[in-house]
Structure 1
Amino acid sequence: MDKVIVENVSKVYDLNHKKSDKLKDLFSFRLRANAKPYYALRNVSFKVKAGESVGIIGLNGSGKSTLSNLLAEVTQPTTGSIEIDGRSSLIAISAGLNNEFTGEENIRMKCLMHGMTEQEVNAKYDDIVAFSELGEFIKQPIKSYSSGMRSRLGFAIAIHTDPDVLIVDEALSVGDETFSNKCIDKMKEFQRNNKTIFFVSHSAGQIRKLCDKALWIHFGEVREYGECNRVVEHYIHHINQYKKKTKEEQMQYKSEMHLKQRATPDTPIYEVQEKNENQLSFIFIALFGIITMIATWLQFIQ
């Protein structure tokens, strides 16, 4: 049975550099001639069964984190669909954490956001703190935490909310190896409990150690998807070839790849989805302003 189905998913952004251009977009019902659509992801499709672990690999800027946010339902695709049988949870450095809150306050806030009751949070609180190994730092605002400490807290919270789909985005790239191995052991336990895991990492060793399959994202598109060792081997070969290039050749290669991610200004999917999002944002802002003005006026005349 498929746990996650991703079909023809694209995520498009506007590469406008001027704030005036974005402001014009809010009042326009047509796509501007100088709009710069950019495909962070283009026509991505794959299926994952319950209990499978998928390693997501690719060069920096290829769209791995964009895909992670889509799988976690943090953002929505411009086109295409993502079907998830159950609830997903994203683990990334600082993902969903409030810098002004203490570690304890973040634990309670995030657990409640995942639908846990106060009683359930209280019952799991000590286990979360123990797993994070933060000790007395749990009482401190997380703005004082190192990236490794943030990762520990985020991982400890996520695994104790018992998600059906766990998405780990580079969260194990910081901190010590002992804690990383502890997290991998916990993810293996999730696998045994038929949980689905997406693991974003630059470490081929970690991916081979944990994952059944690998998804190679290459500048917004799926380069290869399948058995983990085979895909990772092909990816490593590509990386080795890339590293043999001079710095100038690497920059030229990346520039060529990024150019392919750009679309023409009249791209229909960009016009339909992104324009609608901008216009809805403007409507909400305008309504909020009107309501605020009316409330202020009523208070003044009383």
Structure 2
Amino acid sequence: MAVADSGAEPTVIADRVNIVYKVIAGQGGKGTAATAFRRILKRQDRPTIREVHAVKDVNFTAYKGDAIGVIGRNGSGKSTLLRAIAGLLPPESGAIYTGGRPSLLGVNAAMMNDLTGDRNVVLGCLAMGMSAAEIERRYDEIVEFSGIGEFIDLPMSTYSSGMAARLKFAIASAKTHDILLVDEALSTGDAEFRVRSERKIRDLRDQAGTVFLVSHSLDVVLDTCNRAIWLDKGTLRLDGPADEVVAAYARSATH
């Protein structure tokens, strides 16, 4: 387990966390209404329920000032772990303790597709507990950071997925968070936005917050994180300085 500087305050403790969720394994076609109707007519058996053990006995402690990259192949449990830290997925066993309010990017910012970007900026900031005066003071900075430009007056439904992700990140990073959870947000947008986003994460870390960053880009993890956690099929394979963990993960990918 990685340890921060002596005297650092723990912000997240994962104590033997296991997360299991259930999925429906349909029989004979997609799970549509038509399929269900045909199943009734043919008196087919009910679809089976399959359990997926997504996170397996994971232990770690995060500290104030940590920026932790969460790496691993697709399906390794990275996003599931972040949702559990945010309190959206209860562990099957074990526990997650947080010393502050976790904010999962795009969840606390209440984005509504039928409303314009500027209205979503206001609603998202209000959802994070910012006052009207704070929102007015930070509004121009948020819009400029997002790079949305003239599209800010259009409904969110007209935005590309990248534009929406950039606006969500701009809103979420407008406030100093105790614990900020970022899931692949930095993979969107151009190189300029990526540089701005990486700088913002370093700022959040310097303000004694804790940042968890899920990213498939090892360069992003190396540029923004002091520490990394490598998940492999739900198991914590390695936890330590970002450069060491990334190097070990990269070596494994070549074998």
Task: Report the TM-score, using the length of structure 1 for normalisation.
Answer: 0.70
Which of 145, 148, 151 pairs up with 2:159? 145
C-alpha displacement of 1:98:
2.1
Task: Indicate the SS of the match to 2:141.
Answer: helix
Is contact 1:94–1:154 with CA below 8 Å preserved after alignment?
no
C-alpha displacement of 1:116:
2.1
C-alpha displacement of 1:2:
0.9
Is contact 2:25–2:50 with CA below 8 Å preserved after alignment?
no
Name 1:16's counterpart in structure 2: 24
C-alpha distance in structure 2 between counterparts of 1:160 and 1:216, whole Å: 28
Share of identical aligned residues, percent?
Answer: 38
* Match status 1:66 vs 2:74: no
Task: Indicate the SS of the match to 1:16.
Answer: strand
Task: Indicate the SS of the match to 2:254.
Answer: helix
**1:140-161 C-alpha deviation (Å, 9 max, x unpaired):** 1112111221121011100112
Which of 94, 102, 107 pairs up with 1:88? 102
C-alpha distance in structure 1 between counterparts of 2:193 and 2:138, whole Å: 20
C-alpha distance in structure 2 between counterparts of 1:43 and 1:92, whole Å: 27
C-alpha distance in structure 2 between counterparts of 1:17 and 1:189, whole Å: 44
**72-81 vs 37-46, which deviates more?**
72-81
C-alpha distance in structure 1 between counterparts of 2:109 and 2:81, whole Å: 14
RMSD: 2.2
C-alpha distance in structure 2 between counterparts of 1:44 and 1:236, whole Å: 21
C-alpha distance in structure 2 between counterparts of 1:218 and 1:100, whole Å: 39
* Match status 1:191 vs 2:191: no
The 1:217–1:92 alpha-carbon spacing in structure 2 relative to 1, beyond 3 Å, is farther
Is contact 1:211–1:228 with CA below 8 Å preserved after alignment?
yes
1:99-248 correspondence to structure 2 within 5 Å: 99-241=113-255
Which of 2, 7, 10 pairs up with 1:2? 10
C-alpha displacement of 1:228:
1.3
The 1:93–1:234 alpha-carbon spacing in structure 2 relative to 1, beyond 3 Å, is farther
Instruction: Specify which structure has the higher proportion of helix.
Output: 1
Which of 37, 50, 59 pairs up with 1:45? 59
Unmatched 5+ stretches in structure 1: 20-33, 242-302
Task: Indicate the SS of the match to 1:175.
Answer: coil
Instruction: Specify which structure has the higher proportion of strand.
Output: 2
**190-199 vs 52-61, which deviates more?**
190-199
